[in-house]
């Protein structure tokens, strides 16, 4: 009969972690500590640095025809002068002029009705500015135009002094241009003053003028001449069509916005004359780059001091025209200083695009990184992304973001970018794009181009812990997955996000947050199926899945519930297995020799990551049992060991062996591992004969599980594998000694095989292991004691069994190890000391006491003790 303690020792402790509500035993704690070494790990896929800075790298899926250029010419003529005009302080609504038929016309009036007059002489137009010329031209087609812009006080006085010209419904002529007069109800719009026949403005609009809301449209009405003729000339304007009126109104509105309405104070005029104008004159006459740059720095400081940055600066047009001309100088340093001022003046439209292109062009050269850093161009670029409208400036955002991407490639900029809010700005833009996509239901190619730059920048930023923290706090992971889902057909976007997630999932907190986003598993499987042969993308997705399933049992379960998950992994493995076979056939002997001991190829890297996912999910009890019974999965692993040696690809062979070790734990009836255990044992012999200690350790671990079968024990004896296990006890490698001792323990269950411990000094090596590792590894010490217990069964005299020297050594060691004060190392921290003590008390102490008692009493009464699975 076996005691209750002996029966307890027969229970198999799994190598995986179970979520138990009860307090864990010390054995379970030690097992977990040892099992942490069993996690199948791998390197994150390597992303080579691009030789040239471009919007889209050489691996981009975009062709040259469907992507914006990275190279272009840019000159002063590229900028538009219209943007250099200051904007109006009041935004006017479109004019709504409708022809009105006069209530009654006399015969004289009817005779005097005439057709609209042609535009005025171009010579007159050239006498005014281009903006006013357009207004003047539009006025000839029936639109109301100011003949002259007055200051508020002057305009008010002038209008007050005018006399009434005409009463009732009529038309008036301003500067020789016919206009239809509004009736008492009609008006231009709510923002424009009504004209009375004496040229005055009614009381309501007079107040609006005093408030500065309509000063740009105050007009000087000229009276004089025969009122009857004026009435006749005015009535000729009635034949103008609504279409022409609306078109001209749009022209009027656009150009009215370009006219500055605010008056310039004496202080501003003085500041301009004394501080700004001299610098502009200097810029026009200088021909030295250093002087140009110094003048630009002085100009920016002066504009900032005088609060003249932005759009509402009266002489902004003069300033911008001067700056645009200097672009042709061709100096990168000067261009950066010009760009900084131009952006500070809040240009828009084509000019915003061109200045972003200018900075992009300069940032393409790494040698300019120091110039960019010194001039704080990063602040200006981030400000563009922060305040400008994404929809209307999409192309400008593209080149602005491209420049930021280049800058982020330099590690010196990363902390600065993060501190200035780059992460938050990128996330805000990403959310905008996601929202626009959901509303429109279509993926814009321009948004896709922009997302490539944004995600490439974010990929660089996540190397910094603070950036990862910001992304986590702002719920960036679901947002990134959302972009991936929306732009699943854009490989460049998906690849960049996969690179981001591969970095983030290597961080524990980020990995846990991603695992909680349940939709990610189906998304990743879908992308694997869609881009199966796109190695750079799938290898990262599978790496992410490996990270998610490495330490999270819920993630393993969630992934396994996705439809077709194992089928997708097997299909991916078979695809790259065929690729690897074909590439090996093409390789000659010299190339194959050179390949050994090198980094895995891209194809091998995919195989490594796929097997890692299988190893990790097999830790889940139900999934592991199902995989052990899966013919295709086991065939995949066996095939890997058959066609690939550890010298050719170490990581692939070790991962495959570790997965077999995990599956060999599950002793289910329909286990394919059990069916093919002898074939597996033969393949493991190759690994044992190698010089790779990691490979040897994995092979010994598998033998530890398989040696619970009689057929494998016979194989170990027939092939002299046991001699190798005894030799490994001298390895001074704690884990190898543990695994080798486990195999020997399983062998000693069979009475006929216990004699093998006498060969090669097996007993002495076991005693040495107990002495060397006992105080620091009670799990290993317990295995040694169990093995010696089995070996000494039914031996009347321990000295004849162990020998006098080893018997005395055991008596001393066991006595000292059973003394708590001597056995436990109190230098450990409290937590480690507690579970060492717990394991010592519950596992090692009972076995050691019985072994010591046997040696001392020269009696045996217990049956052999089996090895726990590991």
Give the pLDDT confidence of 593-645 residue by residue, as tens digits.
555 557 889 999 999 999 999 999 999 999 999 999 999 999 999 999 999 99
How far, in whole angstroms, is CA 820 from its chain's centroid? 54
Q: What secondary structure, in 3-state letters, does 377-391 show? A: HHHHHHHHHHHCCCC
| 3-state secondary structure (DSSP) of residue 88 | coil
- Position 505 confidence tier, pLDDT thresholds 50, 70, 90: very high
Which one, of 427, 379, 428, lies nearest residue 404 by Cα? 379
Q: Which helix (H) or strand (E) holds 173?
A: strand 171-174
Residue 220, pLDDT score: 37
At residue 20, the pLDDT reads 33
pLDDT band at 473 (very low <50, low <70, confident <90, very high): very high
Give 179's strand partners.
172
Nearest Cα neighbor of 315 from 306, 305, 326, 328 is 306
pLDDT at 151 over 60: no
Instruction: Give the model confidence (pLDDT) of 530-583 as tens digits.
Output: 999 999 999 999 999 999 999 899 999 999 999 999 999 999 999 999 999 888
The residue written with tokens 């200083």 in the block is 337
Q: Label residue 141 by pLDDT band (50, 70, 90).
A: very low
Segment among 452-461, 699-708, 859-868 with least mean pLDDT: 859-868
Nearest one of 681, 687, 706, 591 to 645, comparing CA atoms: 687
Per-residue exposure over 759-781, b if at least 16 CB sit within 10 Å of its own CB, e if not:
ebbbbbbbbbbbbbbbbebbbbb
Three-class DSSP category at 761: helix
| Backbone φ, ψ for residue 601 (5° rounding) | -70, 170
In eight-state DSSP terms, residue 599 is P
Token pair in block for residue 22 = 């009860």
Helix 565-586 / helix 519-530 crossing angle, nearest 10 deg: 30
User: What's the pLDDT band for 700 if we cut at 50, 70, 90?
Assistant: very high
- Res 10: pLDDT: 36
Mean pLDDT of the chain: 76
Cα(199)–Cα(166) distance, integer angstroms: 9
Task: Give the pLDDT score at 443.
Answer: 74
Lowest mean pLDDT among 23-27, 615-619, 737-741, 743-747: 23-27
- Please give the residue that has the higher pLDDT: either 707 or 39: 707
| pLDDT tens digits, one per residue of 234-271 | 444 333 444 444 445 544 444 444 444 345 677 878 88
Higher pLDDT residue, 838 or 661? 661
Res 827: pLDDT: 54
Nearest to 180 by CA among 111, 271, 107, 244: 244
Tokens of 181: 């007069």
Per-residue pLDDT at 616:
94
- Count other C-beta atoms under 10 Å from residue 717's C-beta: 16
SS3 27: helix
Contact 542, 606 (CB under 8 A): yes
Higher-confidence position of 182 and 440: 440
CA distance 426 to 461: 11
Query: Which residue shows structure tokens 């961080």?
Result: 507
* Number of CB atoms found within 10 A of residue 572's CB: 24
- Nearest Cα neighbor of 97 from 246, 300, 247, 239 is 246
Both structure tokens of 288: 């030295």
Instruction: Determine the distance from the C-alpha atom of residue 29 to the mean position of all C-alpha atoms in its chain, rounded to a whole number.
Output: 37
User: Is residue 271 within 8 Å of 209, Cβ to Cβ?
Assistant: no
Above pLDDT 90, what percent of the chain? Answer: 40
pLDDT, residue 222, reads: 36
CB-based burial, 285-323: b 16+ in 10 Å, e otherwise: ebeeeeebbebbebbbebbeeeebbeeebbbbbbbbebb
DSSP at 195: B
Model confidence at 452, pLDDT cuts 50, 70, 90, reads very high
H or E stretch including 180? strand 177-180
Kindly provide the b/e burial profile for residues 424-435, where b requires at least 16 CB atoms within 10 angstroms of the residue's own CB.
bbbbebbbebbe
Of 95-104, 406-415, 722-731, the range with the lowest mean pLDDT is 95-104
| For helices 631-643 and 602-617, angle between their N-to-C axes, nearest 10 degrees | 140
* Bridge partners of residue 201, in order along the sequence: 195
Under 8 Å CB-to-CB from 269, ≥6 apart: which residues? none
- % pLDDT > 70, the chain: 68
Q: What is the DSSP letter of 640?
A: H
E-assigned strand segments in 446-510 = none
How far apart are the C-alpha atoms of 705 and 663, rounded to whole Å? 10
Range name among 57-61, 87-91, 702-706 with the lowest pLDDT average: 87-91
Is the pLDDT at 324 greater than 70? The verdict is: yes
Given a contact cutoff of 8 angstroms between Cβ atoms, the answer to whether 752 and 715 are in contact is no
For position 313, what pLDDT does the model report? Answer: 76
More confident site: 232 or 526: 526
Is 196's pLDDT higher than 50?
no
Cβ(546)–Cβ(616) below 8 Å: yes
Rounded (10°) CA dihedral 647, 653, 654, 656: 180
Q: What integer pLDDT is reported at residue 328 of this predicted model?
A: 86
Q: What is the DSSP code string of 144-170?
A: ---S----HHHHHHHHHHPPP---SS-
* Res 351: pLDDT: 92
- Residues, the chain, total? 870
Instruction: Check residue 865 and give its pLDDT.
Output: 47
3-state SS, residue 779: helix
- Check if the beta carbon of residue 336 is closer than 8 Å to that of residue 369: no
Output the pLDDT for position 188. Answer: 37
Q: How do residues 267-301 score in pLDDT, each as one tens digit?
A: 878 888 888 888 888 887 767 888 888 888 888 89
H or E stretch covering 787:
helix 778-791
Give 129's pLDDT tier (boundaries 50, 70, 90). very low
Residue predicted with more confidence, 462 or 86: 462
Average pLDDT over residues 69-93: 63
Structure tokens belonging to residue 848: 């050691």
pLDDT value at position 93? Answer: 57
The two beta strands, 177-180 and 171-174, are: antiparallel
The residue that leads in pLDDT, 227 or 730, is 730
What pLDDT, on a 0 to 100 scale, did the predictor assign at position 437? 82
């Amino acid at each position: 009969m076996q005691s209750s303690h002996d029966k307890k020792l027969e229970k198999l402790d799994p190598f995986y972690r179970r979520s138990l509500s009860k307090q864990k035993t010390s054995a379970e704690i030690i097992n977990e500590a040892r099992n942490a070494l069993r996690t199948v790990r791998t390197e994150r896929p390597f992303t080579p640095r691009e030789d040239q800075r471009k919007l889209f790298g050489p691996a981009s899926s975009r062709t040259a025809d469907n992507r914006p250029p990275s190279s272009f010419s840019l000159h002063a003529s590229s900028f538009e002068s219209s943007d250099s005009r200051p904007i109006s302080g009041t935004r006017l609504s479109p004019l709504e002029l409708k022809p009105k038929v006069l209530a009654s016309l006399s015969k004289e009036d009817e005779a005097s009705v005439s057709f609209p007059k042609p535009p005025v002489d171009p010579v007159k137009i050239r006498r005014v500015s281009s903006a006013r010329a357009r207004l003047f031209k539009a006025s000839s087609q029936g639109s109301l135009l100011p003949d002259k812009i007055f200051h508020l006080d002057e305009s008010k006085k002038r209008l007050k002094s005018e006399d009434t010209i005409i009463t009732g419904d009529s038309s008036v002529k301003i500067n020789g241009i016919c206009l239809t007069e509004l009736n008492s109800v009609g008006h231009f719009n709510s923002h424009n003053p009504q004209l009375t026949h004496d040229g005055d403005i009614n009381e309501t609009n007079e107040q609006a003028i005093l408030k500065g809301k309509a000063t740009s449209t105050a007009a000087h009405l000229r009276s004089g001449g025969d009122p009857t003729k004026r009435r006749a000339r005015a009535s000729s304007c009635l034949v103008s069509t609504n279409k022409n009126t609306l078109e001209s109104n749009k022209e009027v509105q656009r150009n009215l916005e370009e006219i500055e309405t605010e008056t310039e104070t004496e202080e501003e005029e003085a500041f301009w004359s004394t501080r700004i104008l001299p610098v502009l004159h200097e810029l026009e006459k200088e021909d030295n780059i250093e002087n140009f740059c110094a003048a630009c720095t002085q100009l920016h400081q002066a504009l900032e001091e005088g609060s003249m940055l932005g759009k509402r600066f009266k002489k902004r047009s003069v300033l911008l025209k001067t700056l645009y001309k200097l672009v042709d100088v061709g100096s990168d340093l000067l261009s950066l200083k010009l760009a900084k001022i131009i952006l500070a003046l809040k240009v828009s439209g084509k000019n915003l695009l061109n200045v972003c292109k200018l900075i992009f062009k300069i940032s393409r050269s790494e040698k300019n990184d120091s110039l960019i850093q010194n001039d704080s161009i990063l602040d200006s670029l981030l400000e563009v992304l922060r305040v400008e409208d994404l929809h209307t400036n999409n192309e400008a955002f593209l080149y602005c973001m491209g420049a930021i991407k280049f800058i982020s490639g330099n590690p010196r900029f990363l902390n600065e970018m993060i501190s200035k809010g780059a992460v938050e700005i990128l996330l805000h833009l990403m959310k905008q794009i996601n929202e626009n996509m959901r509303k429109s239901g279509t993926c814009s190619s321009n948004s896709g181009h922009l997302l490539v730059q944004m995600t490439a920048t974010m990929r660089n930023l996540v190397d910094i812990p603070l950036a990862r923290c910001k992304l986590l706090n702002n719920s960036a992971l679901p947002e990134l997955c959302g972009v991936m889902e929306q732009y699943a057909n854009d490989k460049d976007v998906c690849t960049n996000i996969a690179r981001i997630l591969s970095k983030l999932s290597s961080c524990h907190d980020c990995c846990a947050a991603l695992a909680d986003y349940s939709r990610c598993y189906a998304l990743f499987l879908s992308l694997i199926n869609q881009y199966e042969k796109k190695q750079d993308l799938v290898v990262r997705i599978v790496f992410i899945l490996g990270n998610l399933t490495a330490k999270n049992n819920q993630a393993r379960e969630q992934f396994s519930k996705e439809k077709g998950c194992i089928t997708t992994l097997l299909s991916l493995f078979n695809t790259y297995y065929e690729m690897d076979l074909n590439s090996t056939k093409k390789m000659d002997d010299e190339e194959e020799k050179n390949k050994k001991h090198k980094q895995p190829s891209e194809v091998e890297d995919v195989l490594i990551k796929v097997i890692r996912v299988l190893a990790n999910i097999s830790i889940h009890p139900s999934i592991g049992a199902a995989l052990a019974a899966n013919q295709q999965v086991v065939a995949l692993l066996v095939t890997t060991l058959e066609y690939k040696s550890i010298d050719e690809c170490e990581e692939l062979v070790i991962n495959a062996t570790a997965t077999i070790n995990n599956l060999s734990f599950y002793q289910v009836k329909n286990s394919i591992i059990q069916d093919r255990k002898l074939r597996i044992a033969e393949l493991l012999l190759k690994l044992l004969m190698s010089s790779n200690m990691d490979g040897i350790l994995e092979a010994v671990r598998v033998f530890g599980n398989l040696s619970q079968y009689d057929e494998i024990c016979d194989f170990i004896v027939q092939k002299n594998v046991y001699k190798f296990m005894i030799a490994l006890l001298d390895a001074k490698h704690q884990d190898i000694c543990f695994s080798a001792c486990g195999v020997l323990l399983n062998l000693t269950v069979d009475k006929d095989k216990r004699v093998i411990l006498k060969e090669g000094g097996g007993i002495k090596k076991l005693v040495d292991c107990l002495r060397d590792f006992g105080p620091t590894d009670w799990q290993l010490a317990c295995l040694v004691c169990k093995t010696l217990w089995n070996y000494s069964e039914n031996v009347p005299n321990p000295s004849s069994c162990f020998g006098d020297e080893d018997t005395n050594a055991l008596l001393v060691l066991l006595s000292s190890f059973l003394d708590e004060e001597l056995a436990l190392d109190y230098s450990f921290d409290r937590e480690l000391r507690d579970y060492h003590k717990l394991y010592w008390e519950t596992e090692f102490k009972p076995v050691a006491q019985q072994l010591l008692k046997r040696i001392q009493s020269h009696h045996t009464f217990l049956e052999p003790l089996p090895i726990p699975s590991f």
